[in-house]
Amino acid sequence: MKRSFVLFLASSILCCCLSISCKSSHQAPTAPQDIIVLYENDVHCGVDGYANFAALKNEMKASHKYVTVVSNGDFVQGGSLGASSHGRNIINIMNAVGYDYVTLGNHEFDYGIPRQMELMEALEAECLCCNFKDLRTGKQIYEPYHIVNYGNFDVAYVGMSTPYTINSSTPTYFKDEQGNYVYSFCIDNFYETVQNAVNSARAKGADFVVVLSHLGDEDEGEGGINSPSMIENTYGIDIVLDGHSHSVILDSIVKNKRGENVTLTSTGTKFQYMGRLTISPNGKFKTELIPTESYDKKDPSVLKVIEEIKEGYRKVAEQVIFTSDVKLAAFDDQKNRLVRNQETNIGNFCTDAYRTVFGTDIAFLGGGSIRADLPKGDVTFNDLYTMFPFENGTCKGECTGELLLDILEFSVSIAPGEFGGFQQVSGLRFEYDSSIPSPVVYNANHDFDGVNGERRVKKVEVLNQKTGKYEPLDPKKTYTFAASSYVAIDHGDGFAMMSRCANIQDLGVLDTDIIQNFLENYKNNHVGTEYAGTEGRIKDIK
C-alpha cells in the first residue's frame, strides 16, 4: 500500500482505539442532526460484505435523519459472480443495499462501454463522473456532481475516475472502428476539469464538497495524477473518499492549492473496512473505518439476495462460454502434469491472452497457476474456473533483457523436475540445458550469481510485433510484460528478482477475466487448431 500503508501504521494506536470506539458509538449514537456518509471502495465482487454494509446503513438510519451511501468504484469486476453475469449480479446486490451515489472505477469498463452503460442504467444509485466525456459530442457522459440538502447544509458530491482508465482497461473499447479515440478521461486538462466541477457546485450553493474519487494515492510516475496531486492542484474540496489503490487510509491530510487542509480516506479492498464520515452541525468532519469482519450484523434481505445469486451462479457455471477445436492440456493422458516443466498448448493460450489483452511485448505465467485441462468442444464457466481456481490478479510492468534472463533462469532451475514457478511464455522463445546442475544462486540483492558462472538458459529471442519475426534478446533493452500478480508483485514461488522490475501496475483484473476478454474480443469465442500443438517456445537442448 506504499505511502498510505505507512500512514495507516503511523496511526496504529488510533486505529486500535477506533475498532473499540466504533462499538461504543453504536450503543450511544451521535446527535440526529449529524450527516452520515457511509462509503466503500474497490469491493471487486467481495459480495458477502454488502450484507454488513446494509446492516450498518439500517443502524445509522434508525438514529440519524441524514444518511447517504456511496461507492468509489471498482465493484462489478474482480470475482466469478461478477464475471459470469458481466457485472449484473453485483448491480442487483447494490440495489438491494440501496446506494445513493457511485463513481466509476476503471474496472467498470472491463466488459465494454455498452455494457458499462447498461449496468449504470440498471443501478438505482446515481452515477457521478466529471471527467468521462464523449469526444464526438464534447459532453460529459454522466453528471459531474449532485447537491444534497441536509437541512442547514448543502453538500455536493463530485465524482471522478482515474484518467488512466483507458490504459488500465482495454484501449480498444474507447475507440471507433477506425481506431480513433471517441471517449476521454480528460488526462490533458484533468485538474482544470475537476476545478470547474467544484466551482460550479460552489456557485450553486454547496456548503461542502465531498469527492467520490477513483484516483488512488499511489504514484503514477513523474507528473502522474492521483488523489494527492488532485488535491494539491485544486481548491474548494473538503474531503476525498478515495479508491483505486486498495489503500487503507483513516484520515490523511493533504494541502490544497491554497494551503488548506483536505482530508483523504480509503477503506482498502473487498470490504476490509466500511467507512463512515460524520459531518457535525458545526461543520466538522470525522472519518471512521469499521472492520467489516468484526461487525457481526447482517441485513437479512440483502443476505437473501446474495445467497440467491450464488445459487444462480452455480447453474450459470454450467453454461458454455466458448468452443475449442482442440484439447488445451495441462496433463497428459496418464494424468502426469505438463505445465510445470515444459511448454504446453494451454500455457501458450493463456499467456497469449495476457500479452494480447494488455498489449505488452511478452507475457509469462507460472505453470502452478494452471490446475486443469480445457476440453475439446464446449467449454463452460466451471471449466474455466477449474483451470484457474485461485482467481489470481494480473499486472503489467517493465524489465530489462538482462533481468528477463534471470527470470527465465530461475524458471527452469528445477527442470526437468516439476516447479510451480516454471513459466509458460508468450512473445518470446528460449533454449536451456537441463544437464547443468543447480545453476540458480542469488545474492542478498537478488542479483544472479550462478554456479561456476554458467547459466542454463542459452538462447532467448523476442517476437517483433511488427514483423512477426523473432529477434535476439537485447540485455540492455527494456521490455513490457504481463504476468500474474502472484509472481510479479508478491514474488511467489521465490521470484525475488521481480523486485527489480519497473513500473509494475496491479491491474485488479482476474486471470479468468483476461481469458474471457481474449476470447470475446480477439477469438470470437472460439479456439482453433492454432493451439493443436506447441511451437518450440521453450526447448530443453539436453
Query: Cα(139)–Cα(73) distance, rounded to whole angstroms?
Result: 21
- 96 close to 298: Cβ distance less than 8 angstroms: no
Higher pLDDT, 439 or 468: 468
3-state secondary structure labels for all residues of 387-455 = HCCCCCEEEEEEEEHHHHHHHHHHHCCCCCCCCCCCEEEECEEEEECCCCCCCCCECCCCCECCECCEC
Query: Cα(399)–Cα(402) distance, rounded to whole angstroms?
Result: 8
Residue 26 has pLDDT above 90, yes or no: no
Task: Please report, rounded to a whole number, the percentage of residues in the chain having pLDDT higher than 90.
Answer: 70
Copy the grid coordinates of residue 350: 493463456
Beta strands across the sheet bearing 248-255: 145-150, 153-161, 208-214, 239-241, 261-267, 248-255
**What integer pLDDT is reported at residue 438 of this predicted model?**
59
β-sheet bridge partners, residue 183: 134
Query: Cα(11)–Cα(498) distance, rounded to whole angstroms?
Result: 30
Mean pLDDT of 345-363: 97
Query: Cα(387)–Cα(345) distance, rounded to whole angstroms?
Result: 14
Beta strands across the sheet bearing 470-472: 470-472, 457-463, 428-432, 538-540
Pick the CATH number of 2-15+36-314 from 3.90.1150.180, 3.40.640.10, 3.60.21.10, 3.40.225.10: 3.60.21.10
**What integer pLDDT is reported at residue 397 of this predicted model?**
95
Query: How do residues 481-507 score in pLDDT, each as one tens digit?
Result: 999 988 898 888 888 889 899 999 887
Q: Domain spans of the chain?
A: 2-15+36-314, 317-540
Mean pLDDT of 74-81: 85
**What integer pLDDT is reported at residue 223 of this predicted model?**
64
Residue 10 has pLDDT above 50, yes or no: no
Query: How do residues 228-237 score in pLDDT, each as one tens digit?
Result: 999 999 999 9
- 44 close to 269: Cβ distance less than 8 angstroms: yes
Copy the grid coordinates of residue 118: 447498461
**What integer pLDDT is reported at residue 442 of this predicted model?**
46
Pick the CATH number of 317-540 from 2.60.120.380, 3.90.780.10, 1.10.3720.10, 3.30.56.10: 3.90.780.10
Residue 63 has pLDDT above 80, yes or no: yes
DSSP string, 24-42: HHHHS---TTSEEEEEE--
DSSP string, 234-247: --S--EEE--SS--
Mean pLDDT of 425-440: 86
Query: How do residues 35-60 score in pLDDT, each as one tens digit?
Result: 999 999 999 999 999 999 999 999 99
